[in-house]
Structure 1
Amino acid sequence: MDSLKGIESFVRAVEEGSIAAAGRRLGISAAAVSQNIARLEQQLGTRLMVRTTRRLALTESGQVYFQRVQSIVHELEQAQAELTDLYGEPQGKLRIACSAAFGRTVLAPLMPAFARRYPRLVVELVLADHYVDHIAEDTDISIRFAQQLEPGLVARRIARVPLRLCAAPAYLSQHGTPQDPDELHLHQCLLFRSPMEGRLLGWGFLRNSVRFEPRLNPTMISNDIETLARFAVDGAGIARIGAFIADPLISQGLLQPLFLPESASGMRMEVDVIEAGKAQADIEPLDFYACYQDRRAANGKLRLFLDYLIENIPTAWSL
């Protein structure tokens, strides 16, 4: 049992980056964490880490040992969570990672009711526009769009969110309204640069079930979608923005949508605006996925969160 305490203390200290942070996470003092690790090192007959006032550094033995035992600690934590969920009220920590815009606009409003439903859970929502390492960052679930998926994670699609191409009425009055995606290169285009891999994202369209990306004329670029929305509202050009950000701005008259089909899901518009926005091509939607490390993790508190999320995602985005 002492060995298990030592292993858990060692793994959490490495993950958190300090003895004190590991203690806070485990609910014990920093001195107890340090003693647990010291006893583990004595049992193993080797030094696992060098502790300084500023940081922890793993020895070569510590690196090898950490790679072996980290998954064991996570497996034990998962087993305990599953038993708790099976025989009692779910408890413990649920750490959710999500891109900043979707997390702030869509997930954050849903979290308080979920927390009230399961008061013994500690829910942490991390807004992060980078590739989340589920093991290294101790993340239970991450919400990603299709371009962010990566091998090794189980991905469950949870929503299909419309994308809006839109611009300020003043911009369209001055520069004209494109009637076809192939005209976009004649306009000032506000493009999104992915903060994960640093590439500019093109604008996908579907025409007769065939996907294509028209030529664009990028005049302003940002790695933050809400900043692009601000640029568009201020008349800087045409932007491609998720419905969860664009629709309120459209409803307020700050932005005007382009290339809308005859029925725009979840939006109320004047007939003449819809007719002006018609095009033969549809804007490709954005699929969002709930991703987790192991299929077994879909039990217990993670399953409860997934069910809650799908239950409360806007009906218009349902699959």
Structure 2
Amino acid sequence: MTTPLESKSTDTLRGLESFVKAVESGSIAAGARLLGISAAAASQNIARLEQSLGVRLLTRTTRRLALTDAGASYFERVQGALQELELARAAVADLQDEPRGLLRIAASAAFGRHVLAPLIPGFMARHPRIRCELLTTDGSVDHIQEGVDLSIHIQQQLQDGLVARRIATAQTRFCAAPSYLQRAGRPSEPEELRDHDCLLFRIPYDGRFLRWGFAREGVHFEPQVRVSMSSNDIDALAQCAAAGGGITRLASFVADPYLARGELLELFSSSTPTHGRATSAPLDYYLCVRDRYELTPKVRLFMDYLQQHLPAELKPRSGAS
């Protein structure tokens, strides 16, 4: 039988969870979705919490949610405590049982399609009580609003405020179709790219081109290029290049099938480095969480699984940061 004290403690914890998630996500409804409860239930939980404290924590309007002065002070103190409680609860559950529930992963589109998608079935087979959802996007990812447990992006797409750990390194290939090279000639050095049709990736959330980097005798440089086409989709650029549209840069896991079929040819090959020749800079991929509190047992299991099962050619280079 539940005692009045136990009931009050449960109500307080539910109120804390509903309050913190509402503030983090920007609305009571969004916070309720993260908790898997209705907006009405979350609102009632917060109202009971306010009643027990004797203060109003939130100012609710039809358009926005705002913290009162008391609410701001209270949130600052209880947010970390609630996260620690969630970690402790997850750790105890991990000792008693296999982690379970939804693991929501966001990844840059090409890495998600070509690398993660083939690996996820093996992870789920090993951990059958974990369900996975994979979001493939090169746009910005709001971990709180979208309920994302972890995201994986290249270094150039990292967002401020996230805790990032390098998880993979992909070699890059500069490629063009035989038909294009027959028509336009084959560049022998990166500086010649200024005279060629170049197909560049545009980062969706800030509009920047992903610049083409090289190293020659230890010096990094970015040659001038002539942009004839851009896209926010790496696979679209690969197909355009295979159709004779120009020269593009692809991660090895995208380029290698095209190269094996002869649909694309590699330029500036670094397979046999020569003194004075330029080599293309690799792409580093980072696994990101919102903060250390998000390193839950499910996330740690997935990190460990990736480190064990990523193809050898994608394993991070030793000594890289």
Asked if these proteins are the same fold (TM beyond 0.5), I'd say yes
RMSD: 3.0
> Equivalent residue for 1:273?
none
| DSSP-derived class of the 2:106 partner | strand
Instruction: After TM superposition, give the deviation of residue 25 of structure 1 in Å.
Output: 4.3
The structure 2 residue matched to 1:57, chosen from 64, 85, 89, is 64
> What is the percent sequence identity of the aligned residues?
51
Bigger mean CA deviation after superposition, 7-16 or 167-176: 7-16
Residue number among 240, 243, 254 corresponding to 1:245 in the alignment: 254
> Which amino acid in the other structure matches residue 26 of structure 1?
L
Q: Give the Cα–Cα distance (whole angstroms) in 2 for the partners of residues 235 and 279 of structure 1.
A: 29
Shift of 1:102: 1.1
In the TM superposition, 1:189-228 aligns within 5 A as 189-228=198-237
What pairs with 1:18-37 in structure 2 (closer than 5 Å)? Answer: 22-23=31-32, 25-37=34-46
- For residues 261 and 129 of structure 1, what CA distance do their matches in structure 2 show? 27
Q: What does residue 190 of structure 2 align with?
A: 181
In the aligned structure 2, how far is the partner of 1:198 from the partner of 1:118? Answer: 39
Give 1:306 deviation, angstroms. 0.9
Partner of 2:319: none
What amino acid is aligned across from residue 301 of structure 1 in structure 2?
K
> 3-state SS of the aligned residue for 1:236?
coil
What SS does the corresponding residue of 1:219 show, helix, strand or coil? strand
CA distance, structure 2, for counterparts of residue 220 and residue 27 of structure 1: 44
Distance 1:85 1:107, change over 3 A: same
**Residue matched to 1:90:** 99
Q: Hey, what does 1:156 align to over in structure 2? A: 165
Select 1:304's aligned residue among 288, 301, 305: 301
Give the TM-score taking structure 2 as reference length.
0.82
Counterpart Cα distance in 2 of 1:224 and 1:34: 41
Equivalent residue in structure 2 for 1:48, among 58, 61, 64: 58
Equivalent AA in structure 1 for residue 65 of structure 2: L
1:122 and 2:119 are equivalent in the alignment: no
- After TM superposition, give the deviation of residue 141 of structure 1 in Å: 2.0
Note the C-alpha offset of 1:261: 2.6
Counterpart amino acid of residue 253 in structure 2? F
- Shifted more, 125-134 versus 216-225: the winner is 125-134
Closer/same/farther in 2, CA of residues 23 and 148 from structure 1, 3 Å limit: closer
- Residue by residue over 1:32-52, the C-alpha shift from the partner in whole angstroms, topping out at 9 and shown as x without a partner, is 333212222333432625365
Q: For residue 218 of structure 1, report the CA deviation from its aligned partner.
A: 0.9
Going from structure 1 to structure 2, the CA distance change for 1:58 and 1:183 (only over 3 Å counts) comes to same
Dislocated runs of 4+, deviation >6 Å: none
What secondary structure, in the 3-state scheme, does the structure 2 residue paired with 1:240 have?
A: strand
Q: Is 2:235 aligned against 1:235?
A: no
- Cα distance in 1 between the residues matched to 2:291 and 2:27: 27
Identify the residue that residue 272 of structure 1 maps to in structure 2. Answer: none
Question: Contact 2:143 / 2:149 at 8 angstroms: preserved in 1?
Answer: yes
Whether the 8 Å CA contact 1:153–1:291 is kept in 2: the answer is: yes
Alpha-carbon contact 1:100-1:128 (below 8 Å) kept: yes
Q: State how far apart, in whole Å, the 1-side matches of 2:124 and 2:159 are.
A: 29
SS at match of 1:59: strand
Give the match's secondary structure for 2:64: strand
Q: Report the count of equivalent residues.
A: 304
Asked whether the 8 Å contact 1:232–1:255 carries over to 2, the reply is yes
Which is further off, 196-205 or 35-44? 35-44
Compute the displacement of 1:124 (Å): 2.7
Distance in 1 (alpha carbons) for counterparts of 2:39 and 2:148: 23
Q: CA deviation at 1:131?
A: 3.2
Matched, 1:142 2:148: no
- Quote the offset at 1:297 in angstroms: 4.9
Deviates more, 1:62-71 or 1:3-12: 62-71
Deviation (angstroms), 1:12: 3.5
Change (3 A) 1:146 1:66: farther
1:58 partner amino acid: L
1:215-238 CA-to-partner distances (Å, cap 9, x unmatched) read 111111122212211221221110
Letter in 1 for 2:234: I
Q: 1:311 to 1:16 in 2, by over 3 A?
A: same
CA distance in 2, matches of 1:38, 1:51: 15
Contact in 2 for aligned 1:190/1:237 (Cα 8 Å):
yes
Cα separation, 2, equivalents of 1:226 and 1:173: 23
The answer to whether the 8 Å contact 1:93/1:124 transfers is yes
Which residue identity is paired with 1:282?
T
Structure 1: gaps (5+ residues): 265-277
Instruction: Report the counterpart of residue 275 of structure 1 in structure 2.
Output: none
Whole-angstrom distance in 1 between the partners of 2:31 and 2:265: 50
Please give the secondary structure, in 1, of the residue aligned with 2:60: strand
Encode CA deviations 1:75-100: one digit per residue, 9 max, x unaligned: 33222112222333112443322112
Greater CA drift, 211-220 or 74-83? 74-83
